[in-house]
Amino acid sequence: MKGGKVLLECLKKEGVNTIFGYPGGVLLPLLDELYNEKDIKFFLVRHEQGAAHMADGYARSTGKVGVCLATSGPGATNLVTGIATAYMDSIPIVALTGQVATSHIGNDAFQETDITGITRPITKHNYLVKNVKDLPQIVRNAFHIASTGRPGPVLIDLPKDVLSAEIDSFEYPEVNLPGYKPKYEPNKLQIKKAAELIEKAKKPIIYAGGGVIASNASEELLKFIEKIEAPITTTLLGIGCVPYNHPLYLGMLGMHGTKYANYAVQESDLIIAIGARFDDRVTGNVKTFAPHADIIHIDVDPSSISKIIKVDIPIVGDAKNVLRDLIEEVKPKRHSEWVQKVLDWKKQFPLTFSCAGAGLKPQKIIETISALAGEDAIISTEVGQNQMWAAQYYKFTKPRKFLTSGGLGTMGYGFPAAIGAQVANPDKLVIDIAGDGSIQMNIQELATAVKYNLPVKVVILNNGWLGMVRQWQELFFGKRYSHVNIEGSVDFVKLAEAYGAVGFKVTKEEEIEKTLKEAFSINKPVLMDFHICREENVWPMVPAGGSLENMLEGELA
Amino acid sequence: MEKKKTISVLVTNQPGVLARIAGLFSSRNFNIESLAVGETEDPAISRMTIVATGDELVLEQIIKQLNKLIDTLKVIDMDENEHIERELALIKINTEGKNLTELMHIVNIYKGKVLDTAPDCLTVEITGDDNRINSFIELAKNFGIKEMVRTGTIALARAKKKK
């Protein structure tokens, strides 16, 4: 059996039935094995970055490990942005890269690059396979590392001679990682201490992040917030972990969070952080963040705790298990006065937008999508204003429905991620909410969507700007719009048609609903070009490094 | 407040491990004073002794981040227990026009060894903890140091005394 076949057999043992990838010279022995492979479906992309984001979208929407493949050298380096995106958001993917033959490594051979060196700081772990005999153990360990503890990307670099080397047979081994033991069960004493602090708190708030979704802990989280009657706000990646219409839900906090979420955090006397990491987009100025609050921090990754803010009660463990124990330990609590205060803010300072001015309102478009798409639809976003409007105005009721590059902020993420999610969820409606800038970063994947008839819908909020940078220039750089005008880049309708997809252009408000309905009914990829109000901004906004209670707002917000 | 900490890290003896540790320090902006690596009683395991500086939060992060590496088997904060630290330095000291007797006297006080002699210099080996070596270096500076190399600190916990 050749190395390439060994790899495929190992992947199948891990339950892999989908690979997103792109060929190349050193991969020839593996491609030859894939030629007759029945159990693994290979999706040929148009750029390796697309493959990495597809594996990511596949993983985020299912919780399973996504797999992507690229050749050595430029193929491997093209994966780097996708790997870094997955790393920052703790998404389990396994990236397979070809490598020049072991005898050539270090010689600056054709298409050689030290990809394990390059990806060391952006992977949870990586491997260079030097002997085909090591391959099964490495694959076993790689999938285990990617999917357990705090999940993340793992890269396996596969030299050409390893892929073509022969072995007689192999047994798929058990995981062998003596130094890797993620802690899932919380320390009982810490649970007790946390419960005591919760018992004393008068104004508690829960701040939940992507860790709740990674741990599939939504159900426990709901029970917990109801038992102690605490309002809950989420990070960008935590969106969907509780339904938008839950009475205690305050939406997202931070730079573009709701006013009421930020006010509540600032006034709280106890923050219970669950699977969140006090990112600077959440905290603003750390020194003025939640000045009156004690902090309980629940995270499966000990290094996330007290990294940015010294916490009072650290609890290392899986969110689901920790919440299970906390629910058991805490006494039921009522905080009527506090909750009333927060709900009053919610009434007083809702998210609003003005319908004045030329062009469509992006918020209105997102609200319409939200009303039409149904609660099982999967929404991805690109990065920038489109992403923030989607986070603010789309009404999510379930986890794993919102795919967005939070940590790295990768433009070009949303479209391939939507394709990956569509592959994993063939019967669901998958929509990429995009900007006219971001969509052009991986637009070539239209060919992939068309080829495999993946009926992804792309909603372009076209304002002819790199809008978020323009917004900052308007607010903080005297409206000097330096190098952000991309008006008239391309005719998106013709572009869609050129790829064999369907394109619509929308400029009138009354066409929004009609176009979306039509697009959702077409079983093909559809690109919709919505011409939005050019200078619409994302409100409210905490300027970078500012204090959460000081939010800028638009004329009407 | 900035503090110094000696950390002992047991890692699997594999290619790339040193790069992972060094990369961690540079990418997380941690300060490393010294790093010494060598095999342990088990050839599959290496011990790295790291002396790092930082405030309390940073030092806590360093230990956590080291623990997070997959190749790391164990991270020991040496300051939590009684331990022995040693470092070795080789110092080439100028003797031209200097009082050799005085220099030899100092070397003897520090239990140093003369490893090499030349008409204009002596090469001396000094072992001890970091303080001892630093104070010897201060004295040697009066003669003039031509060249110097230090191993970096290595450390082991003291054996538990039987009662």
Alpha carbon distances (Å) from B130 to B6, B32, B34, B134: 11, 15, 11, 6
Comparing alpha-carbon positions, the chain A residue that sits nearest to B12 is A179
Query: A1, A9, A37, A111: which one is catalytic?
Result: A111
Q: Give the residue among A383, A381, A396, A304 at the shortest CA–CA distance from A90.
A: A304
What's the mean pLDDT in B53-69?
A: 95
| pLDDT for residue A225 is more than 60 | yes
How far, in Å, are A3, B85, B133, B141 from residue B138 at the CA level? 60, 20, 9, 5
Is A48 considered catalytic here? yes
Q: Which chain A positions have a beta carbon within 8 Å of B73's beta carbon?
A: 178-179
Phi, psi of A241 (to 5 degrees): -75, -20
- Indicate if the alpha-carbon torsion angle A160, A162, A167, A169 is positive or negative: negative
Whether A303 and B12 lie within 8 Å, measured CB to CB: no
Q: Over the stretch A271-292, which tens digit does the pLDDT of each residue have?
A: 999 999 999 999 999 999 999 9
- Range from A287-291, A343-347, A356-360 carrying the lowest mean pLDDT: A356-360
Q: Does A302 contact B67 at a Cβ distance shorter than 8 Å?
A: yes
Instruction: Report the Cα A364 to chain-centroid distance in Å.
Output: 24
Q: What is the per-residue pLDDT across A50-96, written as a single tens digit (0 to 9) for each?
A: 999 999 999 999 999 999 999 999 999 999 999 999 999 999 999 99
User: With contact defined as beta carbons under 8 Å apart, do A32 and A55 qualify?
Assistant: no
The answer on pLDDT for A534 being more than 50 is: yes
- 0.95 surpassed by complex ipTM: no
- Among A25, A321, A250, which residue's Cα sits nearest to residue A159? A25
* Cβ-based burial of A283 (10 A; exposed 0-12, middle 13-18, buried ≥19): buried
Would strands B83-94 and B154-157 be described as parallel, antiparallel, or unpaired? antiparallel
Give the C-alpha distances (Å, rounded to integers) separating A419 from A153, A218, A250, A336, A515: 19, 25, 31, 45, 21
Question: H helices within A425-541, ranges in order?
Answer: 446-451, 467-476, 492-499, 511-521
**Percent of chain A residues past pLDDT 90, beyond the cut:** 98
Residue A289 among the catalytic residues: no
Please tell me which residue of chain A has the smallest CA distance to B66.
A303
Mean pLDDT, chain B, rounded, equals: 95
Which residues in A363-380 are b (16+ Cβ under 10 Å) and which e?
bbbbbbbbebbeeebbbb
Which residues of chain B make contact with A99, given a CB cutoff of 8 A?
none
CA atoms of A316 and A297, how far apart (whole Å): 8
**B46, B10 in Cβ contact below 8 A?**
yes
Taking CA atoms, A398 is separated from A242, A246, B20, B162, in Å, by 7, 12, 38, 60
Q: CB neighbours of A81 closer than 8 A, spacing ≥ 6?
A: A49, A52, A408, A410, A412
Residue A478 contacts residue A496 (beta carbons within 8 Å): no
Residues A107-145 have pLDDT tens digits of 999 999 999 999 999 999 999 999 999 999 999 999 999
Q: Which residues of B touch A310 (CB under 8 A)?
A: 57
pLDDT at A555: 60
- Beta-carbon pairs below 8 A across chains A and B: 40
How far is Cα of residue A374 from the mean position of the Cα atoms in its chain? 20
Q: Among A180, A295, A297, A311, which would you mutate to test the B interface (most chain B Cβ atoms within 10 Å of its Cβ)? A: A180
Residues 15-74 of B with CB under 8 A from A: 16, 19-20, 23, 27, 57, 60-61, 64-65, 67-74
Is position A555 annotated as part of the catalytic site?
Answer: no
Question: Of A54, A88, A468, A541, which is the active-site residue?
Answer: A468
- Give the percent of chain A with pLDDT over 70: 99
Q: Map tokens 């148009």 to a residue.
A: A46
Tokens read off for A464: 């002819």
Distance CA B151, CA B88 (A): 6
User: Above 50 in pLDDT, residue A557?
Assistant: no
B23/A179 CB distance under 8 A: no
According to the model, what pLDDT value does residue A556 have?
A: 47
Residue of B29, B56, B63, B64 to mutate for A, most A C-beta atoms under 10 A: B64
Q: What is the pLDDT of residue B15?
A: 85
Q: In which element (H, E) is residue A94 found?
A: strand A93-99
Residue A39 CB burial class (10 angstroms; 0-12, 13-18, ≥19) = exposed
Write the residue in A120, A178, A301 that is nearest to B20 by C-beta: A120
A508 is catalytic: no
**Model-level pTM?**
0.96
What kind and span of H or E run contains B137?
A: helix B130-140
Reported as a single tens digit per residue, the pLDDT across A155-180 is: 999 999 999 999 999 999 999 999 99
Chain B nearest-CA residue for A183: B68
CA dihedral over A105, A106, A112, A116, signed as positive or negative: positive
Does A474 participate in catalysis according to the annotation? no
Confidence of residue B163 (pLDDT cuts 50, 70, 90): low
Joined tokens for residue B97: 């026009």
